[in-house]
Structure formats: structure tokens, C-alpha cells
């Protein structure tokens, strides 16, 4: 995830979000990988924050983040 270019983040956004939601809802299935998934989500979020995606409001809603 660290090596993905910022321009590619918009292309994988939907798939990444689906994967992270699946990890959050199926905790027992991903129990042994929680630390790795958390690091992945952190790096993904940082990259996503650096990109310019048209609908950041929807993105924040999907991630459960209130506007600051």
C-alpha cells in the first residue's frame, strides 16, 4: 500500500473500502491479521487524505468520520 501512487488510490477506492468493511464486520475471520489490517487501513487513509477525490464528504461518511 505504501508504494501505490496517489493517482491509483481513486481507482482502488471502492475495492479497498469494501475489503476494510468486510474486515470490520467479520472480525473472527480476520482475527490473526488485525494488526496488519490496521496498518494497511492507516496507510490507505493517509494516502486517501492526500488525494483529490471529488466526493470527500461521502468518503468521510463511509469511514464514519465527522467533518472537522
Each residue's pLDDT tens digit, 15-47: 988 999 999 999 999 999 999 999 999 988 888
pTM of the predicted model as reported, rounded to 2 decimal places: 0.66
Nearest one of 64, 66, 58, 7 to 41, comparing CA atoms: 64
66 assigned to some structural domain: no
53 assigned to some structural domain: yes
29 assigned to some structural domain: yes
> Would the pLDDT of 6 be above 70?
yes
68 assigned to some structural domain: no
Nearest one of 8, 33, 3 to 20, comparing CA atoms: 33
Split into its structural domains, the chain has a count of 1
| Phi, psi torsion values for 34, nearest 5 degrees | -60, -40
Q: How confident is the model at residue 66 (pLDDT cuts 50, 70, 90)?
A: low
Q: How confident is the model at residue 10 (pLDDT cuts 50, 70, 90)?
A: confident
The boundaries of the domain holding residue 40 are: 6-59
Torsion angle (degrees, nearest 10) of CA 32, 11, 18, 21: 60
Q: How much of the chain, in percent, has pLDDT values that exceed 70?
A: 75
- Contact yes or no for 51/6 (Cβ under 8 A): yes
34 assigned to some structural domain: yes
Amino acid at each position: 500500500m505504501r508504494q501505490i501512487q496517489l493517482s491509483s488510490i481513486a481507482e482502488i477506492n471502492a475495492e479497498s473500502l469494501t475489503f476494510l468493511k468486510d474486515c470490520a464486520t467479520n472480525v473472527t475471520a480476520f482475527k490473526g491479521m488485525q494488526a496488519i489490517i490496521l496498518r494497511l487501513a492507516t496507510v490507505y487513509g493517509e494516502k486517501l487524505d492526500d488525494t483529490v477525490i471529488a466526493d470527500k464528504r461521502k468518503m468521510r461518511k463511509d469511514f464514519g468520520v465527522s467533518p472537522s
